[in-house]
Structure 1
Amino acid sequence: MTDWARVRAEGFEVPADRPVDKLVAELSGMLRSPDATVRDGQAYSVLATWIGKGVLAPELLRELGDEMAGRFGDPEIQARTFAPLILDSIVSVGVFEPSWVPPFERWYVAEEDLRGYDAKLGWLHAIAHGADLLGTLGRVPAVEPVEMLRLGIGRLLTPTDFVLRDLEDDRLGYALAATLTRPDLVETDVTAWLDPAARALGNPPPDGVRPEITNTMRTLRALYVLVDQGVRIGDTVHQVPHRELVRAKLAEVLRTATPYFL
């Protein structure tokens, strides 16, 4: 076993005593660990750093990506929720396979464990980690941006008993805003994906506001601010094409539930 705490302490230098693919296989296994120090503090931090620095060859990244796509069906929540973080890192450096998208979509909209932080398992963050990947995929030319927008609103409107509490709504709002910066989006694309939210917010149940409605409203409010102010991606602030249309649609949707708000 490699001393990964030492690797991290020494600036993430690649150990010279073992092949890189063997090191990656060990780190990948550690990503399933219920120990947050092992999973988050060591495996994720080392892998994400190596991917960002270009340490791993494209073919090895594709193999790792395939493995992460398979993790969306893992029985362990921490294994499922750290898979999108690694895929996000891989796609962010320009390695992408279309076969990774459907498993992610199926998992993201169906995941039932929405805890942000757990006292025993540490950060899980299914919504936030999935949002990071969604926002990155939303900017990949080979991915249809409307597909990601619909995925985001579908995730929000999926019935749940859990009210988001660890800034997941902001992370998903940012992902949607980043996707909306795509220059190839046409006018109908930037607003039609919000229609399901308009219907849901306009037909509240008689027994009170459901958690998914609260989550949706908070996320759309964050999205409104980003659309209005611009979306920082890296060191550049991007404006949303058809900005006025998007703002008007968001205001219309939010007004159905809170007419006093906008």
Structure 2
Amino acid sequence: MTDWTAVRAEDFAVPADRPLGELVSELSELLRSADPTERDSTAYSTLATWIGRGVLSGDQLRELGDEMARRFGDAEIQARTFAPLILDCIVSAGVYEASWVPPFERWYVAETDLRGYDAKLGWLHAVAHGADLLGTLGLYPAVEPVEMLRLGIGRLLTPTEHVLRDMEDDRLSYALACTLTRSELTVEDATDWLVPAFTGITPVGLSVSPVNTNTTRTLRALYVLVDRGVRLPEASDVTPVPHSAEIKAQLVEVLRLVSRSYF
């Protein structure tokens, strides 16, 4: 087994004593580890660095992406939640397969373990990690942006007893804002994805549910990004959101369901 501590200490230099394919396979398996140091500090950090530096070939990235897509059905929560992070790196590097999207979509709305941090397992962050991939796919030309917008609101409106507490709402609002910068979106595209919220949110006075809380916190953050513009990945300045006035008006109508007496 490779001394991954030494690899990190040497700025993630690729070990020369083993084939790259074997190294990637070992790191891929470590992504399933219940040990957060092995999974996060070693496997994820090394793979993300190598992908960003172009160490892996296109075929190797596709093979790794296929494995990550299968991980969405893994029995271990940490295996499921680190799969989108690696797919995010792969797609950001310019390698994309349409077959990766449906498993991601099915998992993102169906995942029931929404813990951000666990004392033993470390960071899990299903909603946040999924949001990172959602935002990258939302910007990718081959992906329909409306599909990602609907996925985001679907995740928020899925019944849960868990209240998000580790900045997941900001991560998802940023992903949605990035997707809303796509120039091909019509006014209807940019606003109609919010329609399910009118029936998915319980009106004020009846209950204060986790769904209400998670959804409204995310949409309030989204309002700010739509209003101010969003700084896309690696961009030096903010990008205006097309149809911002119409999107903000629709967001206000949704938010008034739980804040009717405030504005």
Give the TM bin, normalised by the shorter chain: over 0.9
Q: Give aligned-pair identity as a percent.
A: 70
Taking the aligned partners of 1:254 and 1:114, their CA distance within structure 2 comes to 23
Taking the aligned partners of 1:227 and 1:12, their CA distance within structure 2 comes to 38
Taking the aligned partners of 1:216 and 1:256, their CA distance within structure 2 comes to 11
Taking the aligned partners of 1:144 and 1:185, their CA distance within structure 2 comes to 9
1:222 is aligned to 2:221: yes
Q: Match of 2:14, as an amino acid? A: V
Q: Match of 2:239, as an amino acid? A: H
- The 5 Å alignment of 1:117-132 reads 117-132=117-132
Taking the aligned partners of 1:56 and 1:74, their CA distance within structure 2 comes to 24
Alignment RMSD: 1.1
Work out whether residues 92 and 136 of structure 2, in 8 Å CA contact, stay in contact via their aligned partners in 1. yes
Taking the aligned partners of 1:205 and 1:90, their CA distance within structure 2 comes to 45
Structure 1 residue aligned with 2:145: 145
Taking the aligned partners of 1:26 and 1:40, their CA distance within structure 2 comes to 14
User: Cα deviations across residues 194-225 of structure 1 (Å, max 9, x unaligned)?
Assistant: 0111223364684x221011100000001001
Q: Match of 1:155, as an amino acid? A: R
TM-score by length of 2: 0.97
Taking the aligned partners of 1:164 and 1:94, their CA distance within structure 2 comes to 31
1:182 is aligned to 2:182: yes
- Quote how far apart the aligned CAs of 1:135 are: 0.3
Secondary structure of 2:246's aligned partner: helix
Taking the aligned partners of 1:239 and 1:162, their CA distance within structure 2 comes to 33
Taking the aligned partners of 2:198 and 2:180, their CA distance within structure 1 comes to 18
The change in CA–CA distance for 1:261 and 1:45 in structure 2 (over 3 A counts) is farther
Secondary structure of 2:231's aligned partner: strand
1:20 is aligned to 2:20: yes
Structure 1 residue aligned with 2:2: 2
Q: Match of 2:244, as an amino acid? A: R
- Quote how far apart the aligned CAs of 1:261 are: 4.1
- The 5 Å alignment of 1:211-250 reads 211-233=210-232, 234-235=234-235, 236-250=237-251
| Structure 2 residues without counterparts, runs of 5 or longer | none
| Structure 1 residues without counterparts, runs of 5 or longer | none
1:75 is aligned to 2:75: yes
Taking the aligned partners of 1:261 and 1:51, their CA distance within structure 2 comes to 48
TM-score by length of 1: 0.97
Deviates more, 1:194-203 or 1:46-55: 194-203
Work out whether residues 202 and 212 of structure 2, in 8 Å CA contact, stay in contact via their aligned partners in 1. no
